[in-house]
Structures are given as C-alpha cells and as structure tokens.
Amino acid sequence: MIAIKQYLFSSIGKKAVMACTGLFLCVFLIEHLYGNVLLYANDGGLAFNDYSHSACHNIIIRIIEIFLFAAIVIHVWQAIVITSENAKARPIKYAVSTSTKGSSWFSRNMGITGSIVFFFIVVHLINFFVPYRITSMGDNVTLAMLVKSAFQNPLYAALYSIGVTFLFFHLSHGFRSAFHTLGLNDKKYTPVWKTTGTIFAWVMWLGFISFPILFYFGIAGNSIPN
C-alpha cells in the first residue's frame, strides 16, 4: 500500500494517473458523440430524448457518471500539479531552447488547450446538465429542444465550435502522449498510437463540430419543435 501511494505521488505516477483519466474521458467522448448523433434522426428528438432519459435512470450509467466527474477533476488537478512542479524545477527559462524543435505549439502548451477545454466543459454543463438534471428546463421543454435552441444561438454555437476545436488539438497530442506515459511507446507501436490519435481527434472534431454548424444554419433539427 505504501509503495502504491509513493508511486501515485511520484512524478511518473501523477503522469500515469493523468494518462489513464484522459483515456477514460476519450471513451466517454465516443459514447457522448453517439448520443448526440441521435439528434439527426428525423423523429422530433424522440430517440435523443429517450436515450438521455434512459441514461439518467440507469444505475450503471449513474455510477460511470460519478467516475466521469471524478476523472475530469483528477485529470485537471494532476495537470495543474505537474505544470507547477515543472515550472519550479526550471524557474529560469533558457535563452534558446532546443527541446521544442520539431514540436507544435499545441503539444508544448497542453495546459492552455486543456484550460480552454475545461472552461468549455463547465459552460456546457451549465447549459445542459444543470437545467436537465438539477433545476428545470420549463414546462413542455425537452432536452432536444434545449439543444436545438442553444445551437441556434450564435454566441453558443461559436463557443461550442471553439471548444471542440481546442479539444481536437488537445486530443491530437494527448492521445498518443498517454500511451507514451504508460510505457507503450516502442518503435513498433509509436506510429500506431500517433496515427490512431490523429484519426480519433479528427473524428471527434468532425462529429462534434457538425452540430453547431448544421443546427445553426437550419440544415438539421427541423423536426424538433422550437
């Protein structure tokens, strides 16, 4: 037990925890995208509403939901701690750095992209999770109607687009970085993780950004009542 505690609080352990929670959140993104795609069914939002209602009343989903929120908090906290420790370890920046040669700005600034994504998640929860699960959406208002209304709002549509775009940049580096942290980075598998991470990031971006675009321009959601 002591050895496990020492590992989890070590630099490597903290990075491993952040990698594991990040990969768990990637699994959630797949499930979340699947649920959102149901909005494209030409049924007035019935399939999406039924899916959301079932998820709220499924004990397994509720338990996973707790782990999900915990994973978000742990992932963010570990990122803050690791960034702080790295800054303390090197308080004076070199005049010329060669360590960033060949790396992208986004891979060197995962903290910034992660912070923007976290802000987006908070706003997203306030707009949908809070009224649907905690307060009230109003009489005769369904979740599909709430989503449609939000995406037809230019400010929220723009914010959502920016959020998922920064999510793309965060995922494109974070996915393969997680496998690197977990030690699965030999010459055989590194190209696989890099390609898989790039494809996953693009699929998530194209999938999620389609909602504000198609709903805002009235291409999708016409069967959902206003």
Taking only the tens place, the pLDDT of each residue in 159-176 is 999 999 999 988 888 888
Range of the domain at 55: 2-91+108-216
Q: Does 101 map to a domain?
A: no
Query: pLDDT value at position 168?
Result: 92
> What's 70's domain CATH number?
1.20.1300.10
Q: Which residues of the chain have pLDDT under 70?
A: 1-9, 86-87, 89-109
What's residue 97's pLDDT? 47
The answer to whether residue 221 is domain-embedded is: no
Provide the number of structural domains found in the chain.
Answer: 1
At residue 101, the pLDDT reads 54
Angle (deg, nearest 10), helices 154-181 and 110-124: 130
Is residue 210 domain-resident? Answer: yes
pLDDT at 164: 95
Is 96 within the bounds of a domain?
A: no
Q: Give the pLDDT confidence score for residue 94 in this predicted structure.
A: 47
For residue range 184-199, list pLDDT tens digits in order: 777 777 788 888 889 9
**119: phi then psi, degrees, rounded to nearest 5:** -60, -40
| Domain contains 85 | yes
Residue 97 belongs to a domain = no
For position 142, what pLDDT does the model report?
Answer: 94
Distances, alpha carbon 204 to alpha carbons 103, 165, 184, 185, 210, in Å: 22, 10, 23, 23, 10
Predicted pLDDT of residue 96: 46
For residues 195 and 15, is the Cβ–Cβ distance under 8 A? no
* Whole-number pLDDT of residue 182: 78
Task: Specify the pTM.
Answer: 0.80
Q: What integer pLDDT is reported at residue 107 of this predicted model? A: 60
What amino acid occupies position 136? Answer: S
DSSP the chain: -HHHHHHHTSHHHHHHHHHHHHHHHHHHHHHHHHHHHGGGSTTTTHHHHHHHHHHHT-HHHHHHHHHHHHHHHHHHHHHHHHHHHHHHH--S--SS--TTTT--HHHH-HHHHHHHHHHHHHHHIIIIIIIIIIS---TT--HHHHHHHHHTSHHHHHHHHHHHHHHHHHHHHHHHHHHHHTT--STTTHHHHHHHHHHHHHHHHHHHHHHHHHHHTTSS-TTS--
Distance CA 15, CA 9 (A): 10
226 lies in a domain?
no
Residue 10 lies in a domain: yes
d(C-alpha 95, C-alpha 204), whole Å: 38
Q: What is the pLDDT of residue 34?
A: 94
- The whole-number pLDDT of residue 98 equals 46
